[in-house]
Structure 1
Amino acid sequence: MSAQSVTILGATGSIGQSTIDVIKRHPDRFTVHALSANRRMAELAQIACDTRASCVVVPDDAAATQFKKAWSNVAPMPDVRVGPQALAQTAAENQTDIVMAAIVGIAGLASIFAAAKAGKKILLANKESLVAAGSLLMTTVAEHGATLLPIDSEHNAIFQCLPSCSETNNLVSRAGVQKLILTASGGPFRTLDLESLASVTPEQACAHPNWEMGRKISVDSATMLNKGLEVIEAHWLFNVSADQIDVLIHPQSIVHSMVQYTDGSVLAQLGNPDMRTPIAHALGFPTRIDAGVDMLDLTRQGRLEFEAVQPQRYPCLELAFDALRAGQGACIALNASNEVAVEAFLQGKIGYLDIARIVSQTLDWQARSHQDDIACLDDVLANDAAARTFATHCSQTIGTITS
């Protein structure tokens, strides 16, 4: 069996680094064709050297210059490509078999669509692509014979717990499925008294109890907007309605998600909280391969706890369900306004509770002023830009009031 070539979009992030760790354990199965990064050019240069990548993609000429300065290796320098168009072309080119889509935010959208149109095996770690363009993406995947495998631990768990399907372009069946149950750690403020939420800092919000993640996704975990995005993802990945999706708090992050069947059975996927497990599952699918993850020892774990979600503690989760029921335009507004609000919070311009306020105001604005006519990727980007403009105005207004 010849080795499969992998392109990693977002190579310097936590998902990208975990992907590289798994690939290095299987040099006979995988090679790295291309890497991309938005920042941290010195780190990208080191990764490119270690993996012997053929090419790298960087955002602009300044980043390209930084990369070349950081390249102090005797090995030949990889081809350095610049800009979003190069990113999409690299994801679609013949030298790539598998695309790890780990770019955070709407910036990863065009390259994912390019990979789908090229019929690639896509390992999806970008929530925003399904949240903002779920219908378009799933249609594109089906029309071009691409394979879409979820990398989020929750969706990967559901994928493993669903029955397999022999239909063309469909890897799982919903036969006998009653509900999908997504688990959530509850984040760092699960037990904090509600009155104290108004004064929490970005540093506190980024201190996730179980996972090592970037700052933006850590804040999303604290607000559970991240879980709301996963609810919308689950709707598109597994073709279920909002009423067929539940969320449970599970502080230990050992049960990654569950599927409830009509006969009363509940199937769950368990494992230590390590993203290399879903990455290895998707890279090797349908074969199981070593991920380098310690085996789960339930006797040491002791007990597994589950709690209902408190709506007053996590208003962003309910906003996500509202957006899913409202339609694709609302989902775009949800994601866009959250990105704006979280960035403002991380910069100290607004308070923690203002994140939900800005998202709610943007959803109200979207309901009054926009339709759900999302026919192409340009429509998605236009709606996204409009929502960001409104959310930015909201954050500036709130910041002026609180300063």
Structure 2
Amino acid sequence: MADLSFLDWPFFDDRHRALAERARSFAASRVAPLAGNHTEADLDDLCRGFVKALAEEDFLSLSVSADGSALDVRAICLIREILGYHDGLADFSFVMQGLGAGPISLFGSDGQRARYLPEIAAGRRIAALGMSEPNAGSDFAGITTTAVRDGNGYRLDGEKMWISNAGIADVYTVFAKTDPAAGAKGISAFIVEADDPGFSVAERIPLIAPHPLGRLAFENCCIPADRLIGGEGAGFRIAMSNLDIFRSSVGAAALGFARRALDEACRWSNERQVFGSPLASFQTTQGKLGQMATEIDAAALLVYRAAWLKDTAGVRVTREASMAKMYATEMAQKVIDEAVQLHGGYGLVLGAPVEKLYREVRALRIYEGTTEINRMVIAGQTLARFAEGQ
């Protein structure tokens, strides 16, 4: 990244700056050579390779908490931004280990943590998160997958949709209704292993920016009772707490994409000759670059404010994380679009860095809370604070 001045901001400690330097070195040596126009055919092996490499450098241990200690959100965000700058699939491989295992890190029993988290941190098991369903995305309380007591365990029935790492994960955190009549209060969280009877990956779903994604099916899927996380009815709180940790990091990934787009735009504008002068010499180009740089810094301030607040105050940061995620992902979409525009026809060539970014960034405005949902969350909390202050 050309501009690293944000690392001097007071949001970070020296350990974060050292981590960023180590992550940049790792990304340049082990991620950049593999970055490219990934296809469905090479996805699974690439993701497994990225997970293994991240584990070897001990980065995955930052996204899981085997001992129940608080996760370092600033560290997670920094790694996502740096990986995202180089390759979206590497960023995806990193964060899914944390997001998929997050409910276990935050609410798992000592036995659950000991059984799963060291293996996930070491890259020997791949994690996934099963929340969305074919008819329940943003409306999480509307899920219909059920978990019914069955002897010494539970029987799961239903489907999950848009599940990242479907097909390559060994451990799935799955949310299901143990009390369908209770709405959000009837949701519980469970650990499902890939070889559990009655569990299957029913479909793999190709995307414009390929990564392992699919639909899960549960048909009389029986699991032991000790796979329940945090008690019956705790699922909604578990899910929201998990998002409270990782939602800011979506904004960080968007920052990585946007910084790469700005660097590519600056490089192209200096090299490209138009009417006998560099493209960068024109006021219209400078106006675009100035706006792009300003919006990137504004988004970074929101992202790292939310991460810093979570780390230092240990409170719920739903409002701040939603602001960071919403603004940064919208910003990145605009910045990357401008970078493509500056490249002209060359920006549309399949496999060009800005073309790849254009496809990769689009999903960030949807997953872990769409822009529209985050605006509603922010408005709700703003109105609540106004009412309290009257």
Specify the TM-score bucket, using the shorter chain as the normaliser: under 0.3
What's the TM-score, normalizing by structure 1?
A: 0.24
What's the TM-score, normalizing by structure 2?
A: 0.25
Question: Whose helix proportion is higher, 1 or 2?
Answer: 2
